[in-house]
Amino acid sequence: GNSVTQMEGPVTLSEEAFLTINCTYTATGYPSLFWYVQYPGEGLQLLLKATKADDKGSNKGFEATYRKETTSFHLEKGSVQVSDSAVYFCALSEGGSQGNLIFGKGTKLSVKP
């Protein structure tokens, strides 16, 4: 079945450090891929997405590229801020009107000043 595997947390970084959170997936078809962010006490918010191979999603300085050959969608940011502290979820959807989201376990990021 479909699944998402992302790196275990927590990840602790200093401000302005480079961030990578690894995400790999298993899918039978051609899924769309997403990164969601959950700030403390809030619901999940879509951070970025990519719907086909080689697409790059980007938002708020975060980027992720849909790599079909490695079945990966790693999240990167060149310089993190304290305000980026949150839990990040990688997810996939097989798409279509019937698709629903399958999530990874989430990675907690803490950024220290």
Partner 1 sequence: GAVVSQHPSRVICKSGTSVKIECRSLDFQATTMFWYRQFPKQSLMLMATSNEGSKATYEQGVEKDKFLINHASLTLSTLTVTSAHPEDSSFYICSARVQRSGYGYTFGSGTRLTVV
105 DSSP 8-state letter: -
Span near partner 1 by CB under 8 A; candidates 20-28, 52-60, 67-75, 87-95: 87-95
* For partner 1, the closer CB: 51 or 59: 51
Q: Do residues 40 and 95 make contact, with C-beta atoms less than 8 angstroms apart?
A: no
Q: How far is the CB of 72 from partner 1 (least distance, A)?
A: 18
Q: Is 51 in the site for partner 1 (CB under 8 A)?
A: yes
Other CB atoms within 10 A of residue 40 CB: 7
CA distances, 78 to each of 2, 38, 60, 86 (Å): 30, 20, 11, 16
Q: Is 58 in the site for partner 1 (CB under 8 A)?
A: no
Q: How far is the CB of 68 from partner 1 (least distance, A)?
A: 18
Q: How far apart are CA 77 and CA 28, in angstroms?
A: 29
Q: Which residues bind partner 1 (CB under 8 A)?
A: 4, 32, 36, 41-46, 49, 51, 89, 93, 95, 100-106
